[in-house]
Amino acid sequence: MNDKTLRFLKKRFQDYYQDAHIHLPPEYTSREWGFILFDDMPKTVMRRHMAFGSSGELQDYFAWTVPAHAYYSVAYYEYPNASNMKDKNWLQSDLIFDLDADHLPHVPDSYPEMLENVKQEALKLYDFLSDDFGFGEDDINIVFSGGRGYHFHISHPSVRSLGSAERREIVDYISGRGLDISQIIGKSYVSGDSGRRDASMFVFPSENDGGWGAKINRYIISYISNIVNSNKPIKKLTGFSGVGKTTAEKLVNIFNDEKQLALLKKGKIDMVSNTSKNLFEYLGKQAVDNLIANVDEPVTADVKRLIRVPGSLHGGSGLKVTTLSASQLENFKPLEDAVVFKDNHITVNVTQPSTVEMKGNKYHVNEGVQDLPEYAAIHLMCRGGAEYGSN
């Protein structure tokens, strides 16, 4: 990134920060703040161990120093601006979850697809936090990172004193790590007097069990119900290993009978054949793979982590680090809703051919001088794929 591009980006970021609302975290005066400034680039220099006594002081810092990246600590300190971490005197920390496309099992090449995939992970994480851990919507602060994922902030007093080990346990639960699926669904053997496993029963969770049991029950019933209510359900069901026509027909009848379906939701499975039980067990394992949320454990476990400031701009994309409510998350479109720059065209010299999809438009850009809407041009420049101007 050349000097001309840096000056242009700094000016446009500064224009934004003159009027922007920076979302202040709880007890922001007890936080450490850190910044990477345009003035220090192209070197990456983190200016940290900073603290602010008022919102006006913080707002002025953004407006006049113009950070490319802005962070604050998840930790609360007695002396947040102490230059030595030990001297800060850690008090407590918010509970943070980081969802990043880099941690997904299959990362698509397309940026929009990548963002959609990680949003689905965010929706799953929200379900865990609300359904399994009992946090209310007001307790969970959801933030689009401005880059490739989402951050979840929980500042509830009940979590602030948790240590790293307890925070890892929460991630283990959400990630399904260490989950013994056989204790939730499948054959459970009963030992006789001789100690031999000479009898068995099939364990099936109820939707009222809570936790993983309830999730697996809902997943299996929803999965099979969707098949039963689709075209050619018998053909689809017999596509599963071991499921014949008779078993498939019986399943269709059960799932079309409200009373029997209600019993299944309560964990009652006597009406289901052994072959169908095998299918349920298979789907139970599939449920875990599909329901886990792929969160970045080191971020959650780090009680002194720096996290991006909501309301700031991400210097690697030009997008806004955007705070969302749970009701806004599902319909949130980051490449539209987190775009803050204008539609007027500017000239850039593209150094890396690429495709930019923003605000409902798609631009295929080749190397050389191009005229693009400012929001697309800034996105390219922030990613290092273009320089400002024609030369």
**Nearest to 207, CA basis, from 151, 265, 137:** 265
Helix count (H) and strand count (E) of the chain? 14, 17
Q: Is 100 a catalytic residue?
A: yes
Q: Is 132 a catalytic residue?
A: no
The residues pairing with 369 across neighbouring beta strands, listed in sequence order, are: 349
DSSP 8-class letter at 73: E
Catalytic residue among 15, 98, 102, 337: 98
Catalytic residue among 39, 100, 138, 343: 100
Q: Is 180 a catalytic residue?
A: no
**Nearest to 350, CA basis, from 375, 385, 299:** 385
Helices assigned H by DSSP within the chain = 3-19, 55-65, 111-127, 157-160, 164-175, 211-228, 233-237, 245-255, 258-265, 274-291, 297-301, 326-329, 334-337, 374-382
Catalytic residue among 209, 296, 337, 343: 296
The residues pairing with 188 across neighbouring beta strands, listed in sequence order, are: 201
Whole-Å CA distances, 47 to 51, 59, 78, 272, 372: 11, 16, 20, 63, 33
Q: Which residues of 115-127 are buried (b: 16+ CB within 10 A; e: fewer)?
A: bebbbebbebbbe
Give the catalytic positions in this structure. Answer: 98, 100, 296
